[in-house]
Amino acid sequence: MSDKIIHFKLITPEKIVFEDDVEAVYAQGERGSFGILPNHIPFMSSLAVDVAKVIKNGEEKTFSIIGGALQFKNNEAIILTEAAECGSDIDTARAQLAKERAEAKLSTAETQRDIKLANAALARAMARLKAASK
């Protein structure tokens, strides 16, 4: 493998969402955003519900990420996540409806459990919309 590329895999329990050689990987960790370039030191991070992106041939490709973890070593980056979707595959109208439903549930939530579930649904919808808009 060239020392100027990163082999990137995005994996869910169901499938490999994306696998290719890329020039850079960017993601939102639980403690802040980060970027990885070739030859970075080994690195691990838990991931927030947000967007990850890769740069390939100078072009950005985005993915909605529903939490998980990233591991980087020997110029290989692997994201393991419960769910992921390529930004270009996201139905923005459907994601917008999900956001509106989550906001409505949040405004009427009465228990801590309901608030937590509504916030999680809202975060997922926002991640999908953010990935689709890039």
pTM confidence score: 0.86
Q: Do 34 and 60 fall within a single domain?
A: yes
Q: Do 59 and 117 fall within a single domain?
A: no
Tens-digit pLDDT profile for residues 67-78? 999 999 999 999
Residue 3: per-residue pLDDT? 76
Average pLDDT estimate for 28-38 = 95
Closest by Cα among 66, 13, 73, 89 to 41: 73
Domain that residue 37 falls in: 6-87
Task: Tell whether 1 is covered by a domain.
Answer: no
Q: Do 59 and 106 fall within a single domain?
A: no
* CA–CA gap between residue 71 and residue 85 (Å, rounded): 19
CATH of the domain at 32: 2.60.15.10
Task: Tell whether 121 is covered by a domain.
Answer: yes
Asked whether residue 48 carries a pLDDT value surpassing 90, the answer given is yes
Q: Do 50 and 115 fall within a single domain?
A: no
